[in-house]
Amino acid sequence: MLLAVDIGNTNVTLGVFKEDTLTFVTRFATRRERTKDEYSFELLNMFSLNSIHPAEINGAVISSVVPEITFAVGGAIEIVTGCQPLYVSTKGNTGLTICTDTPDQLGADMLIGSIAAMAKYPLPCLVIDLGTATKLYAVGKEHTFLGCTIAAGVGVSVKALTSVASQLPAFSITAPEKTICTETFSCMQSGTVFGTACMIDGMIDRFEKELGCPFASVVATGGYSIPIVGHCQKEIVMDYNLVLDGLRIYYRNNA
């Protein structure tokens, strides 16, 4: 079995593959102060809850955008499973040409998402990652990473809004019944959900105009994709496990 780990700013996502089949997915909060031993405890609990013996894991791969804990998590995997993880890098066998000013600085999440998009969807493909940050990135026909946009994520924006505006309370990120609302909670929900959906629709148009062609596929992933994407007017495929699939492919090509 392969343990695939995606370390994000908000959550650490873990998936276990048996050959090409994802058997389960679990998440725990990213805590930069945690030690290798504490992450080992998290892993042991995760395996126990899913009825997997650590000895069944014969490979591991990690992508991370949180360098502070990358090797703590990797060390925990070694302790618990005995496997030395493979760490995702732009220098690995990716099959992707990175057409940016600083190719080595491409985030591991976007690198892995691009690898999965190339394998799973028609190109050119636009990937929309609605996580801690809202990222849209384009993968070209010739297996090229063409570039991206990055904006504050939905959760970050909501937290900023409610923390600096004294009279605006916390609220759930769900769509209200209508856009023009008449009480505070639904007004904030409308601006957040419908506003983000409109931004995505508009950015797709801008990407396609600059590229000079329509996307053959548009794919959404990330923790905030579920409450947002269904309210976009564009045709968008939901792929909640895109990055985990990309990790599986990266491991297969580099182990």
Q: Which of 109, 129, 239, 245 is catalytic?
A: 109
The identity of residue 51, as a single letter, is S
Q: Establish whether 101 is a catalytic residue.
A: no
Round to whole Å and give the CA distance between 61 and 240. 18
Q: Under 8 Å CB-to-CB from 179, ≥6 apart: which residues?
A: 190, 194
Q: Residues with Cβ < 8 Å from 48, sequence gap 6 or more?
A: none
CA distance 211 to 206: 9
Structure tokens at 246: 């990309």
Phi/psi of residue 108, nearest 5 degrees: -60, -35
Active site residues: 109
